Amino acid sequence: MTGRLEGDTAIVTGSSTGLGEGIARRFAAEGANVVTNSRSLERAESTAEAIREAGGTAVAAEADVSEKADVEALVDAAIDEFGSLDVMVNNAGTTVEKPLFEQTPEDWRHVLDINLTGTFFGSQVAGKGMVEQGAGGQIVNLSSMFGSIGVQGRAPYNATKGAIENLTRNLAVELAEHDVCVNALAPGYVRTDLAAAPWGEEAKEHEWPYYGYSEEHVRNRTPLGRFGTLEEVNECATFLAAGGHYTTGEVLHNDGGWLAFGWGSKG
């Protein structure tokens, strides 16, 4: 690794599994002091321990990102432990996969609270800390290519991701005078625990909402012809977190060309 985050302190919310865990590990390998997070301290500590065993620096913090007091405690913990906060990655997210008419008010609020409200609180609290430090910073909000398209059975998730992208633009404008850059990262199909729909032949055995999620569908719909990898997501997150790129208010689509593909399928 090149040490692009050497000496920086980074919080990665929702970093016990999936994209968040991968980003936390990569940041540590790049020299960052990492604060891992989950609603379960045990799960957050699992990632932090793995980072330390690999020679990195990390501490774990329990927090529910939908609660502002928890987010404030999370940011305070990072600053108390490492003396500053340079990077905030708002990654924590969830989804509910059901047809529109089966979505309940509880489903809607659950996804909204974690994905959108959690991103807002994380940006607001971390942004305030960065402004008070006076040294700028980087905020990276995890969106998805689904923030720009419609997909059956995922109305709450897609709505929050679209909102996160416009929230990112607004925050970028508000925080620019303090040299705090705010960008969003929007991956495409990457195998994670959240994207847990069955693949390959198994997909054909399921009814809604798994229609269209076979390996063949994804390959045909993606110009690069494959799923993305965690390492490719990590590379994009590291670029945004490292700064020095004169970029703010942008959405970096890491989707293998999905959104650019007007024809829609290669097969």
Alpha carbons 207 and 36: distance in angstroms, whole number: 37
The answer to whether 237 touches 143, Cβ cutoff 8 Å, is no
Beta-strand ranges (E) seen in 111-229 are: 137-142, 180-187
Which position among 157, 189, 210, 213 bears the catalytic label? 157
| Cα–Cα distances in angstroms (integers) from residue 141 to residues 16, 34, 155, 222, 223, in the given order | 17, 17, 19, 23, 25
Going edge to edge, which strands form the sheet with 87-90? 57-62, 33-38, 9-12, 87-90, 137-142, 180-187, 251-254
The answer to whether 154 touches 256, Cβ cutoff 8 Å, is no
Phi, psi values for residue 137, rounded to 5°: 170, 180
Token pair belonging to 263 = 């024809």
For residue 157, indicate whether it is catalytic: yes
Alpha carbons 258 and 254: distance in angstroms, whole number: 9
The answer to whether 221 touches 264, Cβ cutoff 8 Å, is yes
Contacts of residue 184, Cβ cutoff 8 Å, sequence gap at least 6: 140, 141, 142, 143, 164, 165, 168, 250, 251, 252
Count CA atoms within 13 Å of residue 202 on its CB side: 4
**Position of tokens 């690069």?**
224
> Which residues participate in catalysis according to the annotation?
157
